[in-house]
Structure 1
Amino acid sequence: MNAMGVRFTSEQVLALAPDDASRRAGSRLGTAGPWSGTGCGEGAVWGECKGSGSSPYRTVVDTTGPAYTCTCPSRKFPCKHALGLLLLHASDGAGFEESAAPDWAGPWLKARRGRAGSTAGRTGDGAPEGPGDPEAARRRAERRAARITSGAQELEQRLADLLRGGLAAAEQPGYGLWEETAARMVDAQAPGLAGRVRELASIPGSGPGWPVRLLEECALTHLLDRAWLAADRLPAPFATTVRTRVGLTAPVDGAPVRDHWLVLAQYDAADARLTTRRIWLHGTTSGRTALLLSFGAAGRAPLLALPVGAVLEGEITPHGGSGQLRAEPGGEFVPVAVPAAPPPGGPVGDALDAYGRALTQDPWLDSWPVTLSGVVPARAEYGWQLADANGREALPLTPAAQSRPGLWRLVALSGGAPVTVFGECGHRGFTPLAAWSPEVPGETVPLI
């Protein structure tokens, strides 16, 4: 295929799967047996997959997104047929004849490319989508700010009552009182404060030393409350960070950045209400690290999905706030066939320094993206850690990371030799997300 249709590797395709069940089902469909009418052209692949019914399922993948459509009834995104088609294309590109899209695939591709062009046009000139009413928007913002202020004041009183009664008694009221407080924060349109309250609720009785952890989280929540109540007196970038942590959306603020982006990692976090997908990118020219967020309703995968290890040409626009890495994609990402070197890294000490500097700009930061170079996974008394090859410093892995299969993938990749690892460094330790071995230059190995 041409540059707009570079084939994904099998590993990159499997990284797009919304869950393990889809990954297994897609793998079973990654052979030529059930497929007919396969083809490719202009950055898309298509095919018909025999199913249990009389008519085959018609599947189309726009690899410049990627984006997918299929006539199957699955609510997963991408479905097993899209994964199987991409896996077949990855393993047997010769079986996909270059041609014009068939009648059943062409209209969807044309409509999708038209929508993408319209979106790119709006992003490029910065024009709003509609006239809007600035005065009405200002009044809505003022009403919401007043509700959040009321919620922050109520939460301050709740924290004061907790400390007055003593942390040792925090177990007695149980989870219900905290959940009631969290619900009040939701009513106040402050989901960030609600999330912090639920975090407080999970600490009492959670293991040795929980009163210390509860005091730390209470202090951070109090700091956020006070920062919101004094936001008009804070420096503008920090005030934006405070508003974001409370639950307001940070505005897109900055010049668009066009680059070749290496997809470092992609993973989902879900609760009863929402699935949040985090995608880490590294600009091979700009050296910029960016975080793309995509959201889906509970039980449904977010729309945005990028193959880990791929290099994509595209444009992002950063959000505002001090120390923020979040950005919005502009238009489509196009796969390009260029070498993908890992981000420049450093020893463990440099990673800790980077996290410390980030905390000075955002005290509520859970973690910060860093790249460790020349580190070796090693077993310690308290669990696994990544140690500098000279053995001078080491960074423990988070408890969650130590229970994932990616840990053993990392250990096997290293084999006792130094490797380069990208991940998130925070107060609970380090979460490895991708790794590279000197023996296989340019191959990104996903760890989550």
Structure 2
Amino acid sequence: MALTTASIEQTAPDQASLKAAAKLLSPAKWPERLISADDGLIWGACQGSGANPYRVVVDLSDLGAKCSCPSRKFPCKHALALMLLYGEGADDFLPGTVPDWVTEWLGRRRKTDTVPKDEIIGTGKSLADALKDDIPVPVDAKTQAQREAAKQKRAAATRQAITDGMADLERWIADQLRTGLSDLLGDLTPRCRRIAARLVDAKAGTLAARIDGIPARVLGLPQGDRADAVIAELGKLVILSRAWGDGVAADPSVRREITGAEPRDALLANTETVRQTGLWEVLATREETRRDNLIARSTWLLALDGGHRFALLQDFFPASTGRQGAAFSLGEQFHAEMAFYPSAHPLRAQIVERRPREGLRHWPEISPATDVLKSFAAALAHEPWLLELPILLPQGRVAEAGSTPWWSGDHDTALPLLSETVDLSLCGAEIQSAAVLWNGHRASLLAAQTNLGRFHADG
């Protein structure tokens, strides 16, 4: 079905939605645009401010639409933008197999006779007006200088607030060690919450969320591991605090750990951003509800054809909107260009462009003699505040020793595993390769390639 400007204008809920959709017409914001074999459906992935793009589908027979964004407008700006892109050039949409999430939506929805008629006019909504650039208000040199001075003053105040917060954090750590680890572990959750709240006031929200997560990470370990784990957590916080004091401008990874990541547009505009194009597999997705009422979603990807071995996509959305549909399926493989955030050990990334792939490729081969912890040690040498790192393990087996499951390699190498990430069916299976998150104490199994097929741990 051909889409006309009039039909899209009629479908839009209001002029504001059309204007918002007009700002999403850049191909860079759409890493994926596809069309069904019968030309009846179009769907795609629209990159928002988070790591995981929104999934959008439009039924061309009646312009029914579905999007994973939390907007209450229907259709939302992402669906309208997908219609506009299709109207501008259907040839830019690649043929694709209808994915399961689209099929499920089709099965639930009821067709309606809502196809806009081109002869309907006078809707009060105009794409031409939406595409008009806002006329900038002239700013004189004096006003511009005042704005720049105010901006620098705010930035200086923020830096000072964070610096004061780091000093407060180090005093808090010293107090915890002075009173003893036993008292700290017995009162870990409320103590961490109190210092985290102070760091939020100090403009260090990302660091506050990290400290809020300490009780879950430490108390989830066996009793005998907790003292060492909490010492490691506090030590990494001191190192991070000192790194801030030694010169934040020189290390963007320090800022990222304390105040948050730079915007996507800034990342893509940076000429020094490391990019990697290739085939990727979705290993695992983890979600965590934070105390600031945000749900943090982490998606781990494995590179199947060289370059940086792993990529981490992180997204955040309000808990009040409910669980959002996953942007990826476990085990899914796709071609994509990744842009990695600046770091001495690049890992966190954003998808620049994404294309589907049919069939599955095996994981890269890992020599049985590989030093599995070498990459972890190398990363800590550059960024000692890291909490965990993905590692690809060579051939081995999973076995239980007492109540603890272990991965055991062929060269007398073994790593203890977090039991909640291990399916007992893996015990005895021939593991050709496994991807884990190693935190220095235990490994969380993300996925494994076995003689029984692929295994992916639940998020």
TM-score, normalised via structure 2 length: 0.62
How far did residue 350 of structure 1 move? 2.1
Residue aligned with 2:175, SS: helix
Please report how far the alpha carbon of residue 154 of structure 1 lies from its aligned counterpart in structure 2 after TM superposition.
1.4
SS at match of 2:437: strand
Q: Cα distance, 1:148 vs. partner?
A: 0.6
The aligned residue for residue 127 of structure 1 is none
Aligned counterpart in structure 2 of residue 240 of structure 1, from 252, 269, 283: 252
Query: Residues 417-432 of structure 1: matches in 2 within 5 Å?
Result: 417-432=430-445
Aligned residues between the structures: 343
Where do residues 242-321 of structure 1 align in structure 2 (5 Å cutoff)? Answer: 242-250=254-262, 252=267, 253-272=272-291, 273-288=293-308, 289-298=310-319, 300-302=322-324, 305-321=327-343
Distance 2:204 2:190 in 1: 19
Instruction: Please give the alpha-carbon distance, in whole angstroms, between the structure 2 residues aligned to 1:275 and 1:154.
Output: 27
Contact 1:196 1:221 in 2 (8 A): no
What's the secondary structure of 1:287's corresponding residue? coil
| Structure 1 Cα separation of the partners of residues 325 and 150 of structure 2 | 31
Distance 1:204 1:401, change over 3 A: closer
Which position in structure 2 is the counterpart of 1:62? 43
Match of 2:415 in 1: 395
Contact 1:276 1:302 in 2 (8 A): no
Q: CA deviation at 1:62?
A: 1.9
* 8 Å Cα contact 1:294-1:303 kept in structure 2: no
Name which of 209, 221, 238 aligns with 1:222. 238
Q: Distance in 2 between matches of 1:137 and 1:304?
A: 38
Is 2:368–2:411's contact at 8 Å kept on the other side of the alignment?
no
**Partners of 1:431 and 1:375 in 2: CA distance:** 16
* Identity fraction in percent: 23
Which residue of structure 1 aligns with residue 203 of structure 2? 189
**1:62 corresponds to which letter in structure 2?**
W
SS at match of 2:347: coil
- The one-letter amino acid of 1:248's match is G
SS class of match (2:230): helix
Inter-partner Cα distance in structure 1 for 2:101 and 2:235: 53
* Deviation string, structure 1 residues 397-434 (Cα, Å, up to 9, x no partner): 124324xxxx23534xxx53242212212223221212
Shift of 1:162: 3.0
Would the alpha carbon gap of residues 400 and 339 (structure 1) be closer, same or farther in structure 2, given more than 3 Å must change?
A: closer
Is the contact made by 1:61 and 1:67 (CA closer than 8 Å) also made in structure 2?
no
CA distance in 2, matches of 1:310, 1:175: 37
Alignment partner, residue 346 of structure 2: 324
Q: Secondary structure at the match of 2:405?
A: strand
Aligned partners of 1:193 and 1:247 also within 8 Å: yes
Q: Does 1:142 align with 2:156?
A: yes
3-state secondary structure, aligned to 1:257: strand
The corresponding residue for 2:50 is none
Report the 3-state secondary structure (helix = DSSP H, G, I; strand = E; otherwise coil) of the residue aligned with 1:256. Answer: strand
Partners of 2:429 and 2:452 within 8 A in 1:
no
* Aligned pairs for 1:27-176 within 5 A: 42-44=34-36, 62=43, 67-68=55-56, 86-87=99-100, 138-170=152-184, 175-176=189-190
After TM superposition, give the deviation of residue 366 of structure 1 in Å. 1.9
1:345-378 CA distance string (max 9 Å, x none):
3448622122111111121222211222211111
Cα distance in 2 for partners of 1:210, 1:282 equals 30
Query: Are residues 68 and 365 of structure 1, via their aligned partners in 2, closer, same or farther at CA, if it must alter by over 3 Å?
Result: same
Deviation per CA, 1:284-305: give whole Å up to 9, x if none.
3343321111222115335761
Query: CA offsets per residue over residues 318-365 of structure 1, 9 Å max, x none?
Result: 10122130111124x221225422133344862212211111112122
CA 1:435–1:381 in 2, change beyond 3 Å: closer, same or farther? same
Matching of residues 325-340 of structure 1 within 5 Å:
325-331=347-353, 333-337=354-358, 339-340=360-361
Supply the distance in 1 between the matched residues of 2:219 and 2:452 (Cα, whole angstroms): 47
User: 1: CA distance between counterparts of 2:166 and 2:228?
Assistant: 23
3-state secondary structure, aligned to 2:372 = helix
Separation in 2, partners of 1:177, 1:376:
40
Q: 1:140 to 1:317 in 2, by over 3 A?
A: farther
For 1:180 and 1:409, the matched residues in 2 are separated by 42
Q: Contact 2:274–2:342 at 8 Å: present in 1 too?
A: no
1:435 — aligned with what? Answer: 448
Kindly indicate whether the alpha-carbon contact (under 8 Å) linking 1:421 and 1:432 is maintained by their aligned counterparts in 2. yes
Write the letter of the residue equivalent to 2:43: D
* Cα pair 2:435 2:445 within 8 Å, conserved: yes
- Structure 2 distance, partners of 1:445, 1:256, is 29
Q: Distance in 1 between matches of 2:317 and 2:240?
A: 27
Q: Is the 8 A contact 1:281 1:290 kept in 2?
A: yes
Paired residues for 1:348-387 under 5 Å: 350-387=371-408
Q: Which residue of 2 aligns with 1:56?
A: none
Aligned-pair distance for 1:385? 1.0
Gaps of 5+ in 1: 1-40, 47-58, 78-84, 96-101, 108-113, 119-130
What is the alpha-carbon distance in structure 2 between the residues aligned to residue 370 and residue 243 of structure 1? 25
